[in-house]
Amino acid sequence: MKFEAKIRVQYYETDSMGIVHHSNYIRYFETARTEMMREAGLPYDAMEKAGVWMPVLSVNVEYKMPALYDEVISVFCRIEKLRGASLDVAYEVRGEDGRLCAVGSSSHGFTDPDLKPVRMKKEQPEMYEVFSRMASEE
Amino acid sequence: MKFEAKIRVQYYETDSMGIVHHSNYIRYFETARTEMMREAGLPYDAMEKAGVWMPVLSVNVEYKMPALYDEVISVFCRIEKLRGASLDVAYEVRGEDGRLCAVGSSSHGFTDPDLKPVRMKKEQPEMYEVFSRMASEE
Amino acid sequence: MKFEAKIRVQYYETDSMGIVHHSNYIRYFETARTEMMREAGLPYDAMEKAGVWMPVLSVNVEYKMPALYDEVISVFCRIEKLRGASLDVAYEVRGEDGRLCAVGSSSHGFTDPDLKPVRMKKEQPEMYEVFSRMASEE
Amino acid sequence: MKFEAKIRVQYYETDSMGIVHHSNYIRYFETARTEMMREAGLPYDAMEKAGVWMPVLSVNVEYKMPALYDEVISVFCRIEKLRGASLDVAYEVRGEDGRLCAVGSSSHGFTDPDLKPVRMKKEQPEMYEVFSRMASEE
């Protein structure tokens, strides 16, 4: 995967097992996804201001090896599939030593602030173009 | 203190020390404060719908003994001081065995959704009356 | 599903969209799962003290309708499949008005504190029996 | 204040008011404090491995202006007071445009893993030296 977000694991993200609580990977995914969009020239903030939201339709994570306090994890991500009003993103989380911590994916709709679908290609051709370019990258 | 909210400590609230992460007490305070308001007949939800927000102006916590995973803590709270456009709330967190885990306080403004002060006594006399009753309780 | 955990949505669980942030459903699942185990006579706390951990192997969520601030959601859950050293749990989240907010599932291993698999049937027959009873419930 | 940690505000840290939920500032403080210690050559991770914990004794925050989604806030911090078995840290949070978002402080004990005080000067003279240097910086 091309895009890589580096994230330092925080103390408040650990739990009694001494590892990152599993719910936080969903948040790491969000961070990586928004960084990828920023790099592509389409910060999520700007999308929301333009009236396009990207609510999460589904998410899944497979946990392989725990991420640990204070390590700088790498969250790789890429757009796996782009459709007219939705997209899928794939993720891979690796520890500082390169070990695979987790893999996962999320699906998102494109909607207006009332959560009604936005047909991107027609209604937001420029945004669609950016996603299209991202999706065609390896 | 009169009002008591009982809260079960969740696994995701613990950290590597095996105790509740200190940031969560601020969240327990919020839960107790909103439950106290609900019991007084003024759910925070209804306040927001009526256009009155209660942003936090300050908060402080003194940590005495750690709260532990899975115990049902008691968060006691009361309105310590009510002013025209702000109020102070005091808190006490106790473990299942009665030990004192933390004490704290928070101050809140009454504002409109643009965060401009609302003079409660004049603009929202009925809400003010409810807070007034709460504040006069021991 | 038989088991139902009722959870009040907290303000700190909402996000800028004015709805529950999607990552919190994973935490609601955890709360429901641990309450189900407590009711079955096997609190997770006791399991950990007996040296058996239940790390999450995978989790997935499909989001249907947003859960809202201050509503009391119902998180239904049941054990979908019990194996020698792992189990699957299924979840359904409903709003106060009964609308379906989310469905999901999680898989867990049974391990020792070094995250090595524990063959429950042989090594912890009494615990296994409890899970077995839970799994046979509708 | 000398030390500055730059932190990107995440979506999951916002709430229904469209601003950062107040509880997250405590977490930003923790991030800044640990980065300051890392820069001084004493990562918290290493301290814990050497058997010294720094549990939080108290924390307080005054909120001035809300921090917003996606901005890169600056969390300045410095050691305000160093004692034999405890220390105070002061913080200042500023938005991208330099506006003051919050000020605060935290107090920490030095303890062993059983939460018993550690007399740093005598028992951990090298660590104490590092804190001493940090405390003498403007």
| pTM of the full structure | 0.95
Mean pLDDT for A109-125 is 94
What class does CATH assign to A3-136?
alpha beta
Q: What is the mean pLDDT of residues D29-52?
A: 95
Residue of B nearest to A70 (CA): B16
Tell me how far apart the alpha carbons of residues B67 and A126 are, in angstroms, rounded to a whole number: 52
CA distances from D54 to D62, D65, D130 (A): 23, 29, 15
Q: What does the domain layout of chain D look like in residue ranges?
A: 3-136
In this predicted structure, the answer to whether residue D1 has a pLDDT above a threshold of 90 is: no
C89 neighbors C78 (Cβ within 8 angstroms): yes
List CB contacts (< 8 A) between B11 and chain C: 30, 34, 44
Q: Which residues of A touch B11 (CB under 8 A)?
A: 15-16, 21
Contact B43 C70 (CB under 8 A): yes
- Segment A84-110 shows an average pLDDT of 97
B35-65 pLDDT tens trace: 999 999 999 999 999 999 999 999 999 999 9
Interface contact D59-B58, CB threshold 8 A: no
Confidence at residue B64, expressed as pLDDT on a 0 to 100 scale:
97
Q: Is the pLDDT of residue B72 over 90?
A: yes
In this predicted model, what pLDDT tens digit does every residue of A5-42 receive, in sequence order?
999 999 999 999 889 999 999 999 999 999 999 999 99
CB contact under 8 A, C16 and D12: no
Rounded to a whole number, what is the distance in Å from the CA of B42 to chain C's nearest CA?
13
Q: Which of D17, D30, D61 sits opposite B59 (nearest CB)?
A: D61
Q: Which of C129, C45, C46, C131 is nearest to C89 (CA)?
A: C131
CA distance D135 to D32: 15
Give the whole-angstrom CA distance, residue B127 versus residue D137. 49
What pLDDT tens digit does each residue of chain C (138 aa) get?
A: 689 999 999 999 999 988 999 999 999 999 999 999 999 999 999 999 999 999 999 999 999 999 999 999 999 999 999 999 999 999 999 999 999 999 999 999 999 999 899 999 999 999 999 999 999 986
pLDDT for the residue numbered A138: 61
ipTM of the complex: 0.94
Q: Which of A9, A12, A16 to mutate to test the interface with B (most CBs of B within 10 A)?
A: A16
- Tell me the nearest-neighbour CA distance from C28 into chain B, angstroms: 10
Q: How confident is the model at residue B2 (pLDDT cuts 50, 70, 90)?
A: confident
Burial class (CB in 10 A: 0-12, 13-18, 19+), B46: middle
pLDDT at B119: 95
Please list the residues that pair with D100 across neighbouring strands. Answer: D94
Neighbours of A122 (CB within 10 A): 10
D11 pLDDT exceeds 80?
Answer: yes
Contact residues on chain B for A21, CB-CB shorter than 8 A: 11-12
Nearest-neighbour CA in chain C from A26: distance (Å): 6
Contact A60 C57 (CB under 8 A): no
pLDDT band of D2, cuts 50, 70, 90: confident
Confirm or reject contact between C61 and chain A (CB < 8 A). Answer: yes
The residues pairing with D81 across neighbouring beta strands, listed in sequence order, are: D88
Name the pLDDT band for D80 (thresholds 50, 70, 90).
Answer: very high
Residues of D within 8 A of A31 (CB-CB) are 8, 10
Of B17, B30, B56, Cβ closest to residue D63: B56
What pLDDT sits at residue D137? 80
Q: How close, in Å, is residue D117 to chain B by CA atoms? A: 14
